[in-house]
């Protein structure tokens, strides 16, 4: 049975969120934030109630809601279809804006295909590892084979040394990832905030992982709110306990926006 906000507040002292304001722009991570992390990236499911909730929130925010994910834009859009939300994918390397335009911040380097093939062979020889080739980012998940963590890190370090300065290593929850240098979730949020309908609003970013820290930093810098899901050190100013807590909080936001609209405030 879903927990109520009051139950969450009593149960977990991590449950601290900023006071609602109708001029917010929402930026939401997907895996580990909106959705529980699954053993395989392809195993996650988006429930109809969550789609409906995000649609309500997007409408209430005047379209100023974006999903900010390490997944590709195409993958996120497939998961949340038929919603037509703004999306930043592959840690900011690509972005779907409010007008529906797809922006790719970098071109695929020639050596990336060779790197993907090499990492594919590496994973095939180690049961339990999962390769996720997103196009501009390549991830290896070791959640089901934690004993390989050191080998995975060493393999990525060697791969990046060969690719050169165009790419960098990104660590996450039970995953290492090759991503374009200089691209981040924070940079994607900053780009959205320069565009309508986000421009002039207060950014609120919710995430759970190391990959979300750049987003927290940008939200803080712009005078917004940063909300970390779960335990762990973070520059985020606020906390939610888990994805279930995030969804409960979002349901509360939808009610707050409805009340504000009725009150004309």
Active-site annotation holder among 12, 23, 29, 208: 29
Contact 91, 70 (CB under 8 A): yes
Q: Give the β-pairing of 86-89 and 65-68.
A: parallel
Which of helix, strand or coil describes residue 5?
A: helix
Catalytic residue at 166? no
Contact 97, 86 (CB under 8 A): yes
For the chain, what percentages of helix, strand and coil (3-state, to nearest 5) are there? 40, 20, 40
**Quick one: 166 exposed, middle or buried, by C-beta within 10 A (0-12, 13-18, 19+)?**
middle
* CA 8 and chain centroid, separation: 23
Which residues are catalytic, by number? 29
């Amino acid at each position: 049975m879903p927990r109520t906000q009051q139950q969450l507040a009593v149960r977990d002292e991590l449950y601290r969120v900023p006071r609602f304001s109708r001029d917010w722009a929402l930026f939401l991570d997907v895996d580990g934030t909106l959705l529980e992390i699954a053993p395989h990236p392809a195993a996650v499911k988006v429930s109809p109630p969550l789609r409906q909730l995000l649609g309500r929130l997007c409408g209430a925010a005047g379209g100023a809601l974006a999903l900010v994910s390490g997944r590709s834009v195409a993958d996120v859009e497939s998961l949340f279809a038929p919603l037509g939300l703004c999306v930043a994918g592959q840690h900011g390397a690509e972005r779907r804006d409010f007008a529906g335009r797809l922006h790719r911040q970098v071109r695929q380097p020639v050596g990336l295909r060779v790197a993907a093939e090499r990492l594919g062979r590496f994973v095939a020889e180690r049961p339990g590892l999962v390769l996720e080739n997103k196009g501009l980012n390549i991830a290896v998940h070791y959640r089901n084979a934690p004993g390989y963590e050191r080998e995975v890190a060493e393999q990525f370090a060697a791969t990046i040394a060969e690719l050169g300065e165009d790419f960098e290593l990104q660590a996450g929850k039970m995953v290492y990832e090759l991503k374009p240098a200089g691209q981040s979730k924070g940079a994607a949020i900053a780009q959205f905030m320069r565009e309508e309908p986000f421009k002039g609003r207060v950014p609120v970013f919710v995430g759970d992982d190391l990959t979300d820290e750049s987003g927290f930093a940008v939200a803080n810098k712009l005078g917004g709110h940063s909300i970390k899901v779960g335990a762990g050190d973070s520059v985020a100013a606020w906390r939610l306990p888990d994805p279930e807590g995030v969804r409960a909080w979002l349901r509360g936001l939808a009610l707050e926006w409805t009340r504000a609209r009725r009150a004309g405030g």
